[in-house]
């Protein structure tokens, strides 16, 4: 209780610090520009040249839409805490609801504004950009979140150390499923017994190949979902499917064969870290294209990586579309200006380039083929405007891609959406308000059993039975029923 | 008139009290109004006062699993063990420290026993892991293996953890607690000890007949104060030290870790407030009861 209040006091302090800045900032600028505050996430690099970029943004926005933007830099580690606080008093006007609680919880607590009218008036560009995908931001009849333009579909894949693959003659294109992967794993283990194949049970995305739509519950907490191969609207308990058992067979065998890192239960590092430290050969992940999934991590890892698919379909679900939603706080006093700016981010290529890649000539230079490169003397680590954060912003696909990507790089993202297999529940969003207690209880059950069962650290068969039973006791059936009811209502309306 | 004079005389002292009082009111009394959140569904737009009441609905999630009693059993059980063990260890160490004659040795030992208290639980969790890790841990490799016993997978066997956690907790906190008792002991009237020595009382006799009885009020006060935290648990100890291992949850889940796991995803202010409210109310009731008991048995030592 007390802690909560200290947090709120903290929010007051933060706003207190923001206010003078706001006053200084607006003094010199044109009086009619409406000022909005937009938080920006810092990951590896600090945005040292934020002021410079912000000024360039304002040069575009003040003239075109009469909005002055202040970027508020927040560290990744405190992103969710800080933003939750800022939402309590409306000191931000537009934010990316990523690495926070699901959008539905903010809808439920009235923290974010319904956007329908704003979209009608100021968001025509957004509507054109997103088309049907805009529906994934609809909760209880109204749009509350706007997904970013992205490659929406997701395909389970494995990302591997390219050097070892080359050395052992492993061809990424030959891997299509867990059987192929197991074969490769044996081969690598034989040649490099000192190396673990899979990093951890806690971070690996083993559920991916099952191919299901989680219907709004995140991570390993799959409380009812659709099996996508069945292509129907029947909500099932994923933990009780054959597919789940089949997945357990694989992971349990891998564990017995010593393919995981030592003490996987206690490994706290991210899966990617194990690969980049050369402690593990590969990790499981997802992406619309395995090659791209590997590529995006190459810089982080400082090594070459190959990606292979582990399933042959690319599914797009509401959850895969709504991973990063842009929302406007209900307490914001500048909702219209925020929507104007958001709309501009979707359609204005100059603005998108600016926020995604920085200033031309300062942070990047154009190549002849239409791609961009770091300005002289800069690289991913010493640039003053983080170069890898483009995907944070609403529409990276209208920007110039970084070399060595091909000029039509982002077009391939858009194209992948057309090839994706849509979940039958695409566009459906689950409102958990009626079953929050059950979700809290089931979450605890999953955290107790899930990893042990996946890694087969104990008698899997009897544990699995206990796991399922405790989920029933904790009310998973109520959650599934609620999902089914909401889903049926949604389908009927459609 | 006399009153005015007194106020005037102590005015500087009153003024010095103001910042402390303000702090107390701002930090401890104003937030009490927020307790209402435990019974409300918090809406950002409506604020704390305007959010709708929901009765006891926010408390339900604590009792949803059939293991609900386990939360309370663990929380209270561990706290009871810690309470008793901490007193015994701290008093024993304080008395031993008092008997050390070499000033140098006394200072060194005071410093050394404080070190664990200064470590964060994240650091301690890795020390514990270095001991109990399955493949590289000290216990499995350097103790069990030479004895010909097969290594134990510590992080999957909940039955060992009540002992491990108790040991860790005692190790971390005994230094700090014993310093408090030691500070009390050195304040005791030396002449009592000298008189006893003249009368032929040995070291043991002096401890039992002088130190312990004199220490009793301090023990009772400190115990009463920690009883108020009976329904709280140290999140670091129960979450970090077992490395959030699922298999151990039967032995390591307390109210705090359960609430954290259950609500981490949902940012649910009402339910979090409800859990905190329940903990403090139960703690308050226990303190009242314990104090009543003390007042009946030894009215001099009761807190109020």
List domains and CATH numbers for chain B.
46-301 (1.10.3720.10)
- Measured between alpha carbons, how far is B248 from B242 in angstroms, rounded to an integer? 7
- Determine whether the interchain pair B136/A4 forms a contact, defined as Cβ–Cβ distance below 8 Å: no
Count the Cβ atoms, other than its own, within 10 Å of residue A452.
23
Give the count of beta carbons closer than 10 Å to the beta carbon of residue A138: 20
Q: How far is A88 from A20, CA to CA, in rounded Å?
A: 19
Check: CB of residue B105 under 8 Å from CB of residue B192: no
Chain B residue numbers with beta carbons less than 8 Å from the beta carbon of A439 are 262, 265-266
CA-based nearest residue in chain B for residue A85: B44
Give residue A12's pLDDT: 44
- Are A73 and A106 in contact by the 8 Å Cβ rule? The answer is no
Contact: B266, A473; criterion CB under 8 Å? no
pLDDT of residue A8: 45
In this complex, which of A102, A110, A470 lies closest to B43 when CB atoms are compared?
Answer: A110
Distance from CA of B245 to the nearest CA of A (A): 7
**Phi, psi torsion values for A231, nearest 5 degrees:** 50, 45
Q: Which two tokens stand for residue B7?
A: 């106020």
Structure tokens at A422: 């849509």
Residue A252: partners with Cβ closer than 8 Å, 6 or more residues away: A454, A455, A456, A460
Q: Which residue has the tokens 């890790």?
A: B133
Comparing CA positions, the residue from A218, A217, A209 lying closest to residue A243 is A209
Mean pLDDT estimate for chain A? 86
**Whether A2 contacts chain B with CB within 8 A:** yes
Number of helices and strands in chain A (H, E): 18, 16
**Cα-flanking dihedrals φ and ψ of residue A102, to 5°?**
-55, 150
Angle at B267 between CA A266 and CA A16, to 5 degrees: 110
Residue A160, pLDDT > 50, answer yes
Count of alpha carbons within 13 angstroms of residue B85, beta-carbon side: 18
For residue B25, give the nearest of A86, A5, A88, A11 by alpha carbon.
A5
Helix (H) or strand (E) holding A157: strand A155-161
Asked if A434 has any chain B CB less than 8 Å from its own CB, the reply is no
| C-beta atoms surrounding B148 within 10 Å | 6
Hey, is A287 helix, strand or coil? strand
The predicted-structure confidence for A174-211, as pLDDT tens digits, reads as follows 999 899 999 999 999 999 988 888 887 555 578 888 88
Contacts of B279 (CB under 8 A, 6+ apart): B231, B232, B255
The pLDDT, as a whole number, for residue A436 is 87
Beta strands in A19-154 (DSSP E): 34-42, 67-75, 95-96, 138-139, 142-143, 146-147
Given an 8 Å threshold on Cβ–Cβ distance, is B65 in contact with A474?
Answer: yes
The rounded distance, in Å, linking the Cα atoms of B153 and A4 is 38
Residue of B nearest to A217 (CA): B265
pLDDT of residue A22: 41
Instruction: Say whether pLDDT at A94 is over 90.
Output: yes
Strand partners, A327: A95
Q: Which of A109, A220, A330, A438 to mutate to test the interface with B (most CBs of B within 10 A)?
A: A109
Residues 6+ apart with CB under 8 A from B3: none
**Does A2 have pLDDT greater than 60?**
no
Q: What is the largest CA-CA distance in chain A?
A: 70
For B40, the closest chain A residue by CA position comes to: A109
**Per residue in A268-279, is it b (16+ CB within 10 Å) or e — as a string?**
eeebbbbbbeeb
What pLDDT is recorded for position B77? 95
Determine whether the interchain pair B243/A4 forms a contact, defined as Cβ–Cβ distance below 8 Å: no
Q: Looking at beta carbons, which residues of chain B come within 8 Å of A101?
A: 265-267
- A150, A151, A353, A374, A394 from A391: Cα distances, Å: 8, 11, 11, 17, 7
Question: How many Å apart are CA A164 and CA A371, to the nearest integer?
Answer: 31
Closest CA to B286 of B237, B242, B206, B224: B224
Q: What pLDDT band is residue A31 in, cutting at 50, 70 and 90?
A: low
Instruction: Give the contacts of A86 (CB within 8 A, at least 6 positions apart).
Output: A11, A14, A15, A39, A92, A95, A329
Neighbours of A345 (CB within 10 A): 29
Given pLDDT bands bounded at 50, 70 and 90, which one contains residue A44? low
Task: State whether B271 and A440 contact (CB < 8 Å).
Answer: yes
Return d(Cα B203, Cα A26) in angstroms, integer: 77
Tell me B208's DSSP state: I
| A288-331 pLDDT per residue, tens | 888 888 887 776 677 889 999 988 888 899 988 888 899 999 99
Report the predicted TM-score, pTM, of the whole model to 2 decimal places.
Answer: 0.82
> Range with the lowest mean pLDDT among A108-112, A230-234, A424-428, B135-139?
B135-139
Does residue A458 sit at the B interface (CB-CB below 8 Å)?
yes
* Residue with more model confidence, A23 or B296: B296
Please count the residue pairs, one from chain A and one from chain B, whose beta carbons lie less than 8 angstroms apart. Answer: 142
> Is pLDDT at A56 greater than 80 in this prediction?
yes
Please tell me if residue A462 touches chain B, with a CB cutoff of 8 Å. no
- CB-based burial label for B183 (10 Å; 0-12, 13-18, 19+): exposed
Of A5, A263, A475, the CB nearest to B31: A5
pLDDT for residue A168 is more than 80: yes
| Digitized pLDDT (tens) for each residue of chain B, 304 residues in all | 567 888 888 899 999 999 999 999 999 999 888 899 999 988 888 888 889 999 999 998 888 777 788 889 999 999 999 999 999 999 999 999 988 889 899 999 999 999 999 999 999 999 999 999 887 889 998 999 889 888 888 888 899 999 999 999 999 999 999 999 999 999 999 999 999 999 998 889 999 999 999 999 999 988 988 888 889 999 999 999 988 888 888 899 999 998 888 887 777 888 889 999 999 999 999 999 999 999 998 888 887 7
* List of chain A residues whose C-beta atoms are within 8 Å of the C-beta of residue B263: 440
DSSP string, B55-114: TTGGGGGGG-STTHHHHHHHHHHHHHHHHHHHHHHHHHHHHHHHH---HHHHHHHHHHHH
- Tell me the residues of chain A between 99 and 118 that have a Cβ less than 8 Å away from chain B: 100-102, 105-106, 109-111
Q: In chain A, which residues have their Cβ closer than 8 Å to the Cβ of B265?
A: 101-102, 105, 218-219, 221, 439, 443
- pLDDT at position A24 is 41
The interface residues of chain B toward chain A in range 183-212, judged by CB-CB distance below 8 A, are none
Q: What tokens appear for B24 in the block?
A: 């107390």
Q: How far is CA A55 from CA A70, A137, A358, A375, in A?
A: 9, 31, 11, 19
Q: How many residues are given for chain A? A: 494
Is residue B116 within 8 A of residue B172, CB to CB? The reply is: yes
Q: What share of chain A has pLDDT > 70, as a percent?
A: 91
Q: Go through the domains of chain A in sequence order and give each one's CATH number.
A: 1-149+322-430 (3.40.190.10), 154-201+262-313 (3.40.190.10), 215-259+433-494 (no CATH)
pLDDT at residue number A88: 87
Interatomic CA distance for residues A141 and A428, integer angstroms: 10
B-chain CB neighbours of A82 within 8 Å are none
Short-list A106, A88, A33, CA closest to A327: A106
CB atoms within 10 A of CB A291: 18
């Amino acid at each position: 209780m007390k802690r909560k209040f200290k947090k709120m006091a903290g929010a007051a302090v933060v706003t207190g610090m923001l206010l003078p800045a706001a006053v200084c900032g607006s003094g010199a600028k044109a009086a009619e520009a409406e000022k909005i505050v937009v938080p920006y996430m810092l990951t590896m690099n600090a945005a040292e040249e934020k002021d410079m970029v912000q000024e360039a943004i304002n040069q575009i926005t003040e003239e075109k839409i009469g909005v002055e933007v202040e970027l508020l830099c927040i560290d990744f580690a405190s992103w969710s805490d800080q933003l939750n606080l800022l939402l309590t008093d409306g000191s931000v006007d537009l934010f990316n609801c990523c690495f926070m609680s699901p959008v539905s919880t903010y809808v439920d607590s009235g923290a974010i504004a319904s956007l329908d009218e704003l979209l009608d008036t100021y968001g025509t560009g957004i509507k054109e950009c997103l088309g049907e995908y805009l529906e994934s931001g609809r909760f209880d009849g109204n749009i509350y979140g706007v997904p970013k333009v992205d490659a929406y579909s997701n395909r389970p894949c494995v990302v591997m150390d390219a050097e070892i693959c080359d050395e052992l003659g492993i061809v990424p294109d030959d891997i299509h499923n867990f059987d192929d992967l197991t074969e490769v794993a044996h081969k690598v283990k034989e040649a490099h017994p000192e190396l673990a194949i899979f990093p951890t049970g806690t971070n690996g995305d083993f559920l991916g190949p099952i191919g299901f739509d989680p219907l709004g519950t995140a991570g390993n907490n799959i409380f009812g979902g659709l099996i996508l191969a069945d292509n129907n609207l029947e909500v099932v308990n994923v933990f009780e499917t054959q597919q789940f058992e089949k997945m357990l067979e694989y992971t349990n065998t891998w564990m017995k064969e010593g393919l995981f890192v030592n003490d996987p239960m206690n490994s706290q590092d991210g899966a990617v870290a194990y690969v980049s430290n050369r402690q593990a050969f590969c990790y499981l992940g997802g992406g619309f294209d395995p090659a791209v999934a590997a590529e995006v991590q190459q810089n982080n890892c400082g090594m070459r990586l190959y990606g292979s698919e582990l399933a042959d379909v690319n599914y797009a679900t509401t959850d895969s579309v709504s991973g990063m939603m842009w929302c406007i706080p209900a307490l914001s006093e500048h909702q219209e200006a925020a929507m104007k700016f958001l709309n501009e981010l979707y359609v204005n290529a100059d603005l998108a380039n600016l926020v995604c890649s920085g200033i031309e000539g300062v942070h990047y230079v154009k190549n002849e083929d239409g791609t961009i490169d770091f300005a002289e003397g800069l690289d991913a680590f010493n640039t003053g405007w983080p170069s890898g954060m483009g995907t944070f912003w609403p529409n990276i696909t209208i920007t110039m891609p970084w070399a060595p990507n091909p000029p039509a790089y982002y077009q391939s993202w858009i194209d992948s959406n057309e090839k994706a297999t849509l979940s039958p529940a695409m566009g459906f969003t689950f409102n958990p308000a009626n079953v929050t207690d059950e979700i809290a209880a089931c979450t605890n059950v999953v955290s107790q059993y899930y990893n042990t069962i996946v890694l087969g650290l104990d008698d899997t068969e009897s544990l699995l039975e206990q796991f399922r039973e405790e989920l029933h006791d904790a009310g998973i059936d109520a959650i599934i029923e609620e999902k089914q009811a909401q889903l049926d209502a949604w389908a009927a309306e459609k | 008139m006399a009153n005015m004079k007194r106020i005037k005389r102590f005015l500087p002292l009153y003024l010095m009290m103001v910042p402390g009082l303000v702090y107390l009111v701002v930090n401890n009394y104003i937030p009490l109004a927020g307790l209402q959140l435990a019974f409300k569904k918090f809406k950002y737009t409506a604020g704390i006062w305007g959010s709708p009441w929901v009765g006891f609905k926010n408390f339900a999630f604590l009792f949803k699993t059939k293991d609900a009693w386990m939360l309370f059993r663990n929380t209270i059980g561990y706290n009871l063990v810690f309470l008793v063990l901490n007193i015994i260890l701290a008093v024993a160490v304080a008395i031993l420290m008092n008997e050390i004659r070499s000033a140098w040795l006394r200072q060194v030992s005071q410093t050394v026993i404080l070190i664990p208290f200064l470590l964060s639980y994240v650091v301690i969790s890795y020390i514990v892991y270095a001991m109990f890790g399955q493949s590289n841990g000290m216990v499995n490799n350097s103790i069990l293996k030479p004895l010909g016993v097969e290594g134990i997978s510590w992080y999957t066997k909940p039955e060992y953890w009540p002992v491990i956690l108790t040991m860790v907790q005692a190790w971390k906190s005994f230094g700090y607690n014993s310093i408090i008792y030691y500070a009390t002991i050195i304040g005791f009237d030396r002449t009592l000890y000298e008189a006893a020595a003249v009368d032929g009382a040995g070291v043991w006799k002096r401890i039992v007949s002088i130190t312990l009885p004199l220490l009793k009020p301090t023990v009772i006060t400190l115990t009463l104060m920690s009883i108020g935290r009976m329904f709280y648990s140290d999140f670091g100890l129960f979450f970090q030290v077992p490395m959030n291992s699922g298999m151990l949850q039967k032995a390591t889940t307390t109210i705090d870790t359960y609430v954290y796991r259950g609500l981490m995803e949902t940012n649910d202010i009402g339910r979090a407030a409800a859990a905190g409210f329940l903990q403090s109310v139960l703690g308050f009731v226990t303190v009242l009861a314990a104090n009543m008991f003390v007042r009946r048995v030894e009215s001099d030592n009761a807190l109020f």
